[in-house]
Structure 1
Amino acid sequence: MAPISGHPNDMAGPVRKIRRRRPAWPYPGLLPDLLKRPRVQPAAAPPRRETGHPFELDCLHGVLPSEILAEAVRCAGLLGVGADQVLIRRGIITETEYVVRLAQRCELAVEGFRDIARTDCPLTDAQLRYAAQHRMLPLERPDGLYHVQAPLGLAARRIAALCARQARPRIRLATRAAFDRYLMRHEALAHDAAEGLALQLPEMSCAPIHRDGGGRIRRYLLHLPGLTGAFVLAPVFIIQFCGAVLAIWFLLFNSLRFAGSLAGNKRPQPLDRLSDEHLPIYTVMVALYREGRSVAHLLHALAELDYPREKLDIKLLLEADDRETQAAIARLDLPPNVEILLVPPFGPRTKPKALNAGLPFARGDFVAVFDAEDRPDPSQLRAALDTFRRHGGDVACAQASLCIDNSADSWLACMFTAEYAGQFDAFLRGFSQFGLPLPLGGSSNHFRTATLREVGGWDAYNVTEDADLGFRLARFGYRAVMFSSTTYEEAPARAGAWLRQRSRWMKGWMQTWIVHMRSPLRLIRQSGLAGFFTLNLLVGGNVLTALAYPMLIGACLLEIGLTAAGSTAIEMFADPFAGLHLATIAAGCLSTVVVCLIGLTRRRLLHHAWVLLLTPLYWACLSVAAWRALIQLFRDPYRWEKTEHGLARHSRLAAHSAGRKLKSNKGRENAAFAQAPAVRNNA
């Protein structure tokens, strides 16, 4: 997360005006410039190929057959990477073996970081993130200053060429794993992952160290006597007024969802497929905690991604004490492009903090975030790149659609399917065309890495970090858009798991609303009136309607009961807005059903529409989750309630895959049977 010049308190206009570009490598000298990796944008002209002798392979002559080395050189030329990366990423040689042989050939030492203290590195704490990004680190040793490099990209070729021209430069080599373990031990990066946004932009973080929280609470308390007095003097008016405001808010929230769902489903024209040479490096990050059941399926799904291994950088972010997931991964044969990073036990134990810990190590120009249970379309990374190519630099995030895979597990999972279909295939797909802030989903977000670092990464203290980040991007002048690709997910099928997950979401939406409404005028200046109302109608409306639902139902039932009994004993409940409440509930149910039906139709899952008859009951469950979240917001605001995965009993995706495989096998059997008589006749 790169520091940002300026502070929101000092902004007189949009945040975009204060952007500052930092140098890619803050440590001066010729050697960093020589070894830094060139960054390639996907829409740019073809990268200039490095020609000449492949010095990085000189250390492997006599170790690997010449045919393999020649093929590695050919592939490296097509991909724009070093031939060593082709051999390592395809499992022909391990990174450790290659680094040792390269060091022997160049007469360099291999750094294991066993006796290296923090004081041996002259970089400041703020500069360590650049060392993580470029895998290059200066170290002070008794015999002078060295630069330690973990060769990536074309670095091995340049180091070998430098050693061929110069006798023993002051360079030491290291493996990527050893380099990253050393940096992960430093408290600076762990502290930055947990507190970076709060220290950098305190007004945009819900961390407890916010400096103005006490003053704001005191100002709110000054208004409490006035509100109490107003309620004592005019209780009926206050109750009716509040009820009317809630009803109108409810109507506006559902109207916005309805408008987004009817905005259309335009699919852009496909672009020419990018050749592997033009593809940028892509980082995929997955935060895992107690996911021993899911990690094997996750790695299989990531291996199916249509992207060259040499340019796919996969980071699995594990908690240091998560023995279950670590043991499950140890039993697997990890591909060479998958790296395990242990998140330091500092700060809150949340998914956004783990993602922040991995962000400095992301090598890609783009970053994708997945969850443990995700099964993305194999073409999703290329589809996301096409989305960025279609739009300008103001589009910082592309969001894929999420679809529930285990719909048959329970009525809750089936309702989750309808809800996700309405959200991602109807509402957000149309709402994305309005150019308004997009409340992101928690998975299948694709970001421009530089922009993600610019805005401060994720808020480690927000338990619904995706929605918060979507609105923070808008405040920095960026947009998020939907694109046509699907990630299949597992929904909680049991009431307890569903309630914990939904309570966490509700609590995070409350945190997001509180954070961005700290200064409404500043929010309007940065995101415009449209962004202001989007926050209040979508995030605030989502929570408020869930909290108010039982009150509206209770008011309607009480009014109906009093009217039926002809009683005027409780005159204060003779509400002239009772009709408005009934219309609000009816409109809310109707809009929810229509939005979900549109989504299910587009997803071709209309046979699950029966579950929409349970919408009033489902809203009651949402209300329980919202009130539980509100209580947690005061008692335990940063607690992350873990959702267990790997419990699904049914999988629509697996059933379709098995059906296609069976159909293919039958087709081959029929073809063989049809050819059998001809074979016999020829015999």
Structure 2
Amino acid sequence: MAPALAPLLGALALIPSRPLAATDEPAPLLTPQPAAPTEPLPNRGTLVDPASAADPGSWSIGEWLGYGTMLLFAAALTIIAVTTLYWMLHAWRSTGHLKNTGFAAVPLPAKHSFTLLVPGRHEEEVMGQTLDRLAEQDHPDFEIIAIVGHDDPGTERVVREAAARHPDLIRVVVDDSVPKNKPKALNRALQIARGDVVGVFDAEDEVHPRLLTLVDSRFTESGADVVQGGVQLMNFQSSWWSLRNVLEYYFWFRSRLHFHANSRFIPLGGNTVFVKKTWLDWSEGWDDGCLAEDCELGVRLSSAGATVVVAYSPEVVTREETPGTLKSLYKQRTRWNQGFLQVLKKGEWRKLPTFRQRMFARYLLSMPFLQAATGLLIPVSVLLVLFAKVPAPIALLTFIPLAPTIVTLAVEASGLGEFGRLYGQKVRLRDYARLILGTFPYQIFLGLAAVRSVFREWKGDHSWEKTEHTGAHRSEEVTEATEAAPVSVDLPDRAPELVLQNGATR
């Protein structure tokens, strides 16, 4: 043994020792525990207790109000979207049901006489063509009454020229009421109407020559008191908003009005509507203080138990154009919404026989209020999403309205394709792109129009805002044919009063 190791071995000999047991195992290695971080880790944020973040008891009053507003907004949008989607698809429940929404393929013999009322104000560009088209009806017994204002010589000249071309069919009534509106003009002409059934058309309408024959047959087949025909806007390629306006009309007359008629509560359309004169005499015509006189008449007739039938056959719909500008459409939508509010306040719907009908009527007529509320809540919700820390459950609930909205958008895209096939219009890829991209802006637009209608009603402003027409829906052949056959007519010298054809007064 080397001399250097002798002291070390001596020291080891002094340490006591014990024998190892058979079950002894090596002790585990100790893993050092990491120290708690003193600073936030990169890309991981700060440490937050999930329980305290989601605990409603920790919310402030402002957070309660903000989150509640978001949830109310989501609920309102969901209800509106779901009911609108259901109404849009009502006519397509089955192939047989869709077929029954149209006119008969073989009409019954004529049994009724018709008076067609056509009011016009500053409509010299389109009204002459409309009267010529109406005069081409193949029905054996009808008359046309054109109504113009005493202060509108341009339109009066056009309608008197049309009356000279069709002296056995067209009479002219001059409305001297002030201020003027559509229901006042209709009531003036109603006083001299001779037909069993009174129909209403707008000054720019393009009407199929077989329409009256089919409507007459519908009255006989169904025993109806009112027949609402189809109306379709045509110029869907004029602008991004005209495309959406066209689709609104398509689903409204193709499907929604059928649902309302089956529910026995229906706001009638403004034209291509036919009412038995006995009911108009009972109702004393149209409410000339209402901005939606068509809706108001439909509500009163529904409440009184009149039977309303809707018929939509694409080949014989009345064709119209969308308003020429977005501003004009804004005013038109404001007027309609405000008219609905007037009808709601008037309360005729309370006479409906069942609770379900009354609740349905209240909801339908309250739609402008709902649109106005959602229109105001949209910027509030956007601000909350951008600048507030929203709990995950609340944020997820606000996305619920997207589901019916996406389905509705798919239905609209399908409807646009069907519209193109039915009316021989080429639907391009960019039209579908405009449909999708215009969804949210158009909803904002409708909300703004609803807000304006509520504000006007609150102020008591019931002035009539007229929609201008240029004939964008007409074919060039129809326009050229009318312009090629002008008739010179001298206007009679008269005082402002009710004037009939050839200057006779009543």
The TM-score with structure 1 as length reference comes to 0.54
Structure 1 unmatched ranges of 5 or more:
1-232, 518-522, 568-572, 659-683
User: Are 2:428 and 1:601 equivalent residues in the alignment?
Assistant: no
Q: Which residue pairs with 1:261 in the alignment? A: 88
SS at match of 1:409: coil
| Matching residue within 475, 486, 490 for 2:321 | 490
| Matching residue within 117, 120, 133 for 1:285 | 117
Per-residue CA deviation, residues 342-395 of structure 1 (Å, 9 max, x unaligned), is: 12325x421112111211211111111000111122211122222222223xx3
Per-residue CA deviation, residues 554-596 of structure 1 (Å, 9 max, x unaligned), is: 2432332235xxx4xxxxx879755444322553454255256
User: Are 2:268 and 1:451 equivalent residues in the alignment?
Assistant: no
SS at match of 1:481: strand
Q: CA 1:300–1:599 in structure 2 vs 1: closer, same or farther (change >3 Å)? A: same
**Alignment root-mean-square deviation, CA:** 3.1
Q: Which residue pairs with 2:451 in the alignment? A: 627
CA distance in 1, matches of 2:305, 2:339: 23
Q: CA 1:495–1:273 in structure 2 vs 1: closer, same or farther (change >3 Å)? A: closer
Structure 2 unmatched ranges of 5 or more:
1-59, 481-506
CA distance in 2, matches of 1:596, 1:457: 40
CA distance in 2, matches of 1:242, 1:515: 30
What is the total number of aligned residue pairs between the two structures?
Answer: 402
CA distance in 2, matches of 1:452, 1:246: 41
| Matching residue within 528, 544, 555 for 2:369 | 544
User: Are 2:296 and 1:468 equivalent residues in the alignment?
Assistant: yes
- Structure 2 residue identity aligned to 1:267: K
The 5 Å alignment of 1:456-535 reads 456-485=284-313, 486-516=317-347, 523-535=349-361
Q: CA 1:606–1:510 in structure 2 vs 1: closer, same or farther (change >3 Å)? A: farther
Q: Which residue pairs with 2:9 in the alignment? A: none
The 5 Å alignment of 1:85-484 reads 244=71, 247-263=74-90, 264=92, 265-268=97-100, 270=104, 272-275=106-109, 278-308=110-140, 311-332=141-162, 333-335=164-166, 336-346=168-178, 348-392=179-223, 395-429=224-258, 431-432=259-260, 434-484=262-312
Q: Is the Cα contact below 8 Å between 1:468 and 1:512 reproduced in 2?
A: yes
SS at match of 2:280: helix
Q: Which residue pairs with 1:560 in the alignment? A: 385
Structure number having the greater helix percentage: 1
Q: CA 1:330–1:253 in structure 2 vs 1: closer, same or farther (change >3 Å)? A: same
Q: Is the Cα contact below 8 Å between 2:81 and 2:401 reproduced in 1?
A: no
Q: Is the Cα contact below 8 Å between 2:228 and 2:311 reproduced in 1?
A: yes
**Identity across the alignment (%):** 25
Q: CA deviation at 1:655?
A: 7.7
Per-residue CA deviation, residues 451-470 of structure 1 (Å, 9 max, x unaligned), is: 12223321111111112222
CA distance in 2, matches of 1:471, 1:377: 28
CA distance in 1, matches of 2:354, 2:409: 28
Give the greater-gyration-radius structure (CA).
Answer: 2
- Structure 2 residue identity aligned to 1:287: P
Q: CA deviation at 1:259?
A: 2.0
Q: CA deviation at 1:602?
A: 5.2
**RCO higher in structure (CA 8 A, sep ≥6):** 2
Q: CA 1:322–1:466 in structure 2 vs 1: closer, same or farther (change >3 Å)? A: same
CA distance in 2, matches of 1:634, 1:611: 35
CA distance in 2, matches of 1:445, 1:243: 41
Q: Is the Cα contact below 8 Å between 1:422 and 1:600 reproduced in 2?
A: no
CA distance in 1, matches of 2:159, 2:410: 42
- Structure 2 residue identity aligned to 1:616: F
CA distance in 2, matches of 1:243, 1:458: 42
Q: Is the Cα contact below 8 Å between 1:423 and 1:599 reproduced in 2?
A: no
The 5 Å alignment of 1:30-41 reads none
Q: CA deviation at 1:640?
A: 0.6
Q: Which residue pairs with 2:497 in the alignment? A: none
Q: Which residue pairs with 1:81 in the alignment? A: none
SS at match of 1:313: strand
